[in-house]
Amino acid sequence: MSEEVIIVRESENLTGTVRVSGAKNSALKLIAASLLGQGESTIHNVPLISDIVIMSEVLETLGASVHREGHVLTIDTSTVDSYETPYELVSKMRASISVLGPLIGRFGRAHVAMPGGCQIGARKIDMHLVGLEQLGVHFEVEHGYLVATTPEGLHGGSIVLDFPSVGATENAMMAAVVAEGETTIDNAACEPEIEDLANMLNAMGAKVSGAGTSVITITGVPLSSMHPCEHTTVGDRIEAGTFLVGGALMGGPLTVEGIDPSFLRMAIMKLRAMGCTVETAEDSITISRTQPLRSVDIQTLPHPGFPTDLQAQFMLLAALAEGNSVITENVFENRFMFASELSRMGADVVIDDHHALVHGVKGLQGAPVVSTDLRAGGALVLAGLIAEGETIVRKISHIDRGYEDYVGKLSSLGARVERTTIEEL
């Protein structure tokens, strides 16, 4: 199969209105949660991205029926009769580990292959296991598979996470909703996607409170009282942030619709600090810039801190800002791989352990670059819009994992960007 690439040419501006898709990091977990409904659930606003295809295939291998019509996914889990997920699928996408909690909740056991996905750090799953162990789950590793059993049944427990891991919080929630008794998750992740998952679980009959705060309380209900539901996925804050960075980079004005501005408070604060005008409404954000970009210091932290998934995009802004910026990565240790690709385009970035020292330059030049992970790929395409000449972005399968019709949406805003194959260059 011929390799697809994205060709980006220097563009005049990004302006207009774009609607973001449903949140990738929410929809994947909502699909997993449907296992607990034991019937036909309908999820709206599901993005058309490759990660959703893989997660749908994971459920189908377990025995579910998954039907897609546009952005609506109908999942019938009444026929699920397996608790083993194959390596071929799980190795493609780390989020497949999200079926661990609901499988344990439904069957009291699970065999899940060790996960794969973006190569942006160790991203150990130890916290997932420690949390579930507090609920009576026993783990062993056999031939590359996590084998989970519940010798004495699932019971409530007190979980304290070392770090507010999104995945560990979600897996613990999805098992605890059908555990006997009460569970508390301390130092829980506070991301909007956690709240979205809790809302769907509650619509299925669960009793979850405190989602979106650092302490989540779950009162277990019998599995038999869980039922299917209809739910709409929240807007994707990272996709929204990526387009806002595009508007900041090129000048705008650019309006992003389908997003709750409160999801991006820290990013909006940093955009304003860099000299952008940002206006918010109930379901949209508009950005414009008429003055030079100013340098800024950023530290990635769990929500409500600055999201690691926007670090690469903001490094691009910092690379063209006046003065020096310091970006500190506290979440994923290998996420600075993007810096070397940006440097190929003329950026001045020095990596010192988990700090990136970014000295602003006057401009970038088009170059052949490689998408090292999902968010780096999105940022490299934006870099090509302002770079002199032509930029060719390779390994765009990373981009397809999380951005629905990225090229189409950018083109609608005035970007000179197209998908083609290596052979057609």
d(CA 53, CA 384): 28
Examine the domain organization and report whether 343 and 399 are in the same domain: yes
Helix (H) or strand (E) holding 103: helix 100-107
Beta 207-209 vs 215-219: how paired, if at all?
Answer: antiparallel
Examine the domain organization and report whether 259 and 404 are in the same domain: yes
Examine the domain organization and report whether 307 and 218 are in the same domain: no
Examine the domain organization and report whether 135 and 283 are in the same domain: no
Strand partners, 280: 285
| pLDDT tens digit sequence for 88-132 | 887 777 778 899 999 999 999 999 887 644 343 444 678 888 899
Domain boundary among 200, 232, 264: 232
Domain boundary among 201, 232, 263: 232
Strand arrangement of the beta sheet that strand 16-19 belongs to: 16-19, 254-257, 284-288, 277-280
24 marked among binding-site residues: yes
Q: DSSP states of 284-340 as a string?
A: EEEEE--SPPBP--EEB-STTSB-GGGHHHHHHHHHTSBSEEEEE--S-TTTTHHHH
pLDDT band at 194 (very low <50, low <70, confident <90, very high): very high
Examine the domain organization and report whether 193 and 312 are in the same domain: no
Task: Give the alpha-carbon dihedral of 335, 336, 340, 343, to 10 degrees.
Answer: 120
Q: What is the model's pLDDT at position 332?
A: 76
Per the CB < 8 A criterion, the answer to whether 413 and 286 are in contact is no
Tokens 């893989």, residue located: 54
Strand arrangement of the beta sheet that strand 355-359 belongs to: 298-299, 324-328, 355-359, 348-352
349 marked among binding-site residues: no
| pLDDT tens digit sequence for 139-165 | 988 887 889 999 999 999 999 999 999
Domain boundary among 232, 265, 300: 232
Whether residue 201 is predicted with pLDDT greater than 70 in this model: the reply is yes
- Residue type at 160? V
Q: What is the model's pLDDT at position 120?
A: 35
Lowest mean pLDDT among 116-130, 224-238, 299-313, 366-380: 116-130
Let me know how long the chain is: 425
d(CA 114, CA 99): 12
Query: Which is more confident, 116 or 236?
Result: 236
Strand partners, 349: 358
Q: Which of 118, 190, 229, 276 is an active site residue?
A: 118
Average pLDDT value for the chain: 94
Percent share of the chain, pLDDT over 70:
97
Q: What is the model's pLDDT at position 122?
A: 44
309 marked among binding-site residues: yes
Q: What is the model's pLDDT at position 123?
A: 47
Q: CA of 192: how far to CAs of 258, 346, 364, in Å?
A: 14, 36, 35
Q: CA of 244: how far to CAs of 291, 299, 379, in Å?
A: 16, 19, 11
190 is a catalytic site residue: no
d(CA 3, CA 6): 10
Q: What is the model's pLDDT at position 343?
A: 97
Examine the domain organization and report whether 159 and 305 are in the same domain: no
Examine the domain organization and report whether 197 and 71 are in the same domain: yes
Examine the domain organization and report whether 324 and 374 are in the same domain: yes
Examine the domain organization and report whether 346 and 358 are in the same domain: yes
Question: Tell me, what DSSP letter sits at residue 254?
Answer: E
Q: What is the model's pLDDT at position 425?
A: 67
- Mean pLDDT, rounded, for 350-354: 93
Q: What is the model's pLDDT at position 119?
A: 41
Examine the domain organization and report whether 167 and 289 are in the same domain: no
- For helices 24-33 and 237-250, what crossing angle results, to 10°? 170
Examine the domain organization and report whether 227 and 260 are in the same domain: no
d(CA 211, CA 35): 20
Examine the domain organization and report whether 129 and 225 are in the same domain: yes
Beta 298-299 vs 324-328: how paired, if at all?
Answer: parallel
Tokens of 328: 């500190």
Q: How many distinct structural domains can be found in the chain?
A: 2
Instruction: Check which CATH number belongs to the domain holding 392 and give it.
Output: 3.65.10.10
d(CA 210, CA 189): 11
Tokens 């709750």, residue located: 260
pLDDT band at 417 (very low <50, low <70, confident <90, very high): very high
Q: What is the model's pLDDT at position 1?
A: 65
Q: What is the model's pLDDT at position 88?
A: 83
Range of the structural domain that residue 379 is part of: 2-21+235-423
Tokens 């390799």, residue located: 3
Q: DSSP states of 69-82 as a string?
A: ETTEEEEE-TT---
| pLDDT tens digit sequence for 34-82 | 999 999 999 999 999 999 999 999 999 999 999 999 999 999 999 999 9
| pTM over the 0.85 mark | yes
Per the CB < 8 A criterion, the answer to whether 158 and 134 are in contact is yes
Q: What is the model's pLDDT at position 124?
A: 65
Percent share of the chain, pLDDT over 90:
87
Beta 158-160 vs 145-149: how paired, if at all?
Answer: unpaired
